[in-house]
Structure 1
Amino acid sequence: MRIYISNNKEYVDDIEYDLGANIFSFIELNNTEVSSQFNKILTILYDKSIRMNNKNLINESKNFATEIKRIHPYFSIVSEFIVDEFDLDFEQRSKEKLTKYLQYFYITIPQVRLATLYLLQTSFNIEQLKDKTWMQRGNLYLNNLFLKHMIQESNILPSITLSVKKDVVIKTIDAKKLIDVININFLYLYENRILFRKCKNCGKFFVLDGASNIQYCERIIPGSKKTCREMGAVLIYQKKAFDNPVAKLYNREYKKRNARIRYGMISKEDFNNWANAARIQRDKCLRQRITLDEFVNWLDNS
């Protein structure tokens, strides 16, 4: 699987993704869906009576290669391995090699996910790193024990190709392991001093692209057309409005007069007329066209 990152975009087999999008979706994977796919193909491979030229095995392997890549772009690694294996002549195919590879890949998925989440939280989460220099942040990343173990454990090194695109040197990695993909992402993040934050609305990580004070991501809220950032702007506006003494006065008076409708002390029509007039006076005060005292006087006499 070929992967490179340039201008805050990640390219997996030449398909463009927003920086961080695949990392986030990787740590949020549906375990049930992933397990179902691996268990299905491994069950067939465990059957000693089935050989590598078995039509059912060939068909199921092709289906697996298609489905696993659909679940996540990073799984193109295992998809390519299967395709390459069945492209070989029958005599060169190895059922044992395929089985061991799928077993190893399946086992490493939760391990790499945990390592990725840990790195996000400890080495690239702005909330945890406010008092640390970039050198200290880099040491937290490079000294991650699990990361070292994963790299040392494998004897397969990714091949690297250098090219120039739009006057920029691009380093493309032919990834053979999940840890290769994670590494190229985090190295790019560190080199370009990019951090993350958890969205105050959905609680998921998002990339801080430039401004470090952004609190909300741009994911679409389920069941809504608004993004978390759009909703955040509304919440911030409401908080400011409710904390404003003008708004507090208006809201208190509104509730008091609205309650009078239930007791028959005022008609709904009269209340609505008052509320419309009160909103006009409130907005004038918020825009400083009248003073707070003038607004209070209007409320007292309306």
Structure 2
Amino acid sequence: MENPDILRNTSLRVYFQGKEETFELQTYANDKKMQVFMRQMPLGESVISFIYGDFEDIYEELRRTETIFLEINAGLQVHAHWEQLRQLSLTLMERHPYFGIASQVLSQAAGQAIAIDMRLLSRLVALYKQMRDSLLLLVKECMNVDEQKAGSFVDRYADLLLTHRLGDRSALKYSTVVTEFLPTVAFPLWKTENCVYPVIPTLQELRAQEVPLEMVDALYPHSLQDLYHFLLAGYLKAGVCFKVCKNCGRYFAVTGSMNAEYCDRKIDGSQKTCRQMGAVRVYQQKQMKDPILRLYNRAYKTHNARIRYGRMTREEFLEWSARARALRDKCLEGKISVSDFEIWLKE
């Protein structure tokens, strides 16, 4: 099987399975369905990564397609331009799964026998930005678990609609939703000779191998609005919620404990995440509140400084610190008094 031309037969598939959301870019050749791209994310993560992502370079690429389509329609550098668009189609999905809609639109354009609308892709830029603003509003005022408002998330969404604060006030409808069978366990896709894309097994092939199955509703969107509506409805039904990270101040999806206060983003200029830094801060705050730990930390810093000033050797410091930790732990356990511990530290 040769590599299919993804520009002529590409479709996006989106579905929720368990606590994950999956985005697939598929193509077809020789009666086989193949996976061009796939990304699984925890519920809520696609919205957050889209809200805070910087996609201006992608938007500029979408705008530039006006000139490319103009030259294709004029018969100029047709082959080179389509090759450029093929690479763009893959780049879009890799940057963020929501851009799979643009890849699908590009595929539809490639199959047209008539002149291509120059603004076929560039007009999506405004729609993506509007979608981003709407999602941010929903995260802040509808699915924000810290927001002390009466009613469920569904009630809050209804109130947003009734107060006309959302640009899109239409019903949550979408084009093509198919109830499909999916493996309940990770199932490896198989590749064929001379084709880089793995083949997605049919239901018959799955049953022949007795793979356990479940049924999910999968969306095959026709527009960006389809995708937006499907995600929003799925989040509201699943009760996906968001919080503001106490370190970076940005929203994050709560996928585990509702007591989570920090996100898993890496801090700018650091390899640590907000969650890791939060644990350090909690530890430091605990130390500052506990008089025993406060006494120990102060004495530790004092004795450590003596090494730099030549008033204590490192060996002497290590011996002192081991003894100090042992007495600190005894004090925390109530085996010695705080005053006795403090007197020893000052000796």
Shorter-normalised TM range:
0.7 to 0.9
Matches within 5 A, 1:49-198: 50-51=74-75, 54-88=78-112, 92-96=113-117, 99-128=118-147, 130-134=148-152, 135-140=154-159, 142-143=161-162, 145=164, 147=166, 149=168, 151=170, 157-165=174-182, 169-198=215-244
1:267 to 312, 330, 345: 312
Secondary structure of the structure 1 residue equivalent to 2:123: helix
Structure-2 separation of matches of 1:74 and 1:101: 17
What CA deviation, in whole Å up to 9, does each residue of 1:196-253 have, x standing for no partner?
A: 1122233332222352211122334556554432332232122112221101222333
Matches within 5 A, 1:16-31: 16-31=40-55
1:238 to 284, 295, 303: 284
Matches within 5 A, 1:36-47: 36-46=60-70
Shift of 1:144: 6.9
Which amino acid letter does the alignment assign opposite residue 254 of structure 2?
Answer: L
Structure-2 separation of matches of 1:299 and 1:148: 65
Which amino acid letter does the alignment assign opposite residue 74 of structure 1?
Answer: Y
1:7 aligns to what?
A: 18
Matched, 1:206 2:252: yes
Structure-1 separation of matches of 2:161 and 2:121: 28
Gaps of 5+ in 2: 1-11, 25-37, 185-212
Alignment length (residue pairs): 291
Secondary structure of the structure 1 residue equivalent to 2:180: strand
Structure-1 separation of matches of 2:65 and 2:137: 30
The two structures have a TM-score, normalised by structure 2, of 0.72
Which amino acid letter does the alignment assign opposite residue 87 of structure 1?
Answer: G
The two structures have a TM-score, normalised by structure 1, of 0.81
Structure-2 separation of matches of 1:213 and 1:41: 46
Question: CA 1:106–1:201 in 2, change beyond 3 Å: closer, same or farther?
Answer: same
Structure-2 separation of matches of 1:146 and 1:2: 30
Question: CA 1:67–1:292 in 2, change beyond 3 Å: closer, same or farther?
Answer: same
Question: CA 1:46–1:216 in 2, change beyond 3 Å: closer, same or farther?
Answer: same
Structure-2 separation of matches of 1:296 and 1:277: 13
Contact preservation (8 Å) 1:37, 1:68: no
Shift of 1:51: 4.0
Secondary structure of the structure 2 residue equivalent to 1:149: coil
Question: CA 1:36–1:184 in 2, change beyond 3 Å: closer, same or farther?
Answer: same
Contact preservation (8 Å) 1:122, 1:140: no
Tell me the C-alpha RMSD between the 2 structures: 3.1
Contact preservation (8 Å) 1:86, 1:93: no
Question: CA 1:254–1:12 in 2, change beyond 3 Å: closer, same or farther?
Answer: closer
Structure-2 separation of matches of 1:70 and 1:118: 26
Structure-2 separation of matches of 1:95 and 1:224: 46
Structure-1 separation of matches of 2:274 and 2:160: 29
Percent identity over paired residues: 27
Structure-1 separation of matches of 2:227 and 2:73: 36
Which amino acid letter does the alignment assign opposite residue 19 of structure 2?
Answer: N
2:339 to 249, 273, 293: 293
**Which one is further off, 189-198 or 142-151?**
142-151
Shift of 1:40: 2.5
Structure-2 separation of matches of 1:248 and 1:163: 60
Secondary structure of the structure 2 residue equivalent to 1:267: coil
Structure-2 separation of matches of 1:150 and 1:51: 42
Secondary structure of the structure 2 residue equivalent to 1:110: helix
Question: CA 1:69–1:195 in 2, change beyond 3 Å: closer, same or farther?
Answer: same
Which amino acid letter does the alignment assign opposite residue 52 of structure 2?
Answer: E
Q: Which has the higher contact order (CA 8 A, sep 6+)?
A: 2
Gaps of 5+ in 1: none
Structure-1 separation of matches of 2:245 and 2:160: 22
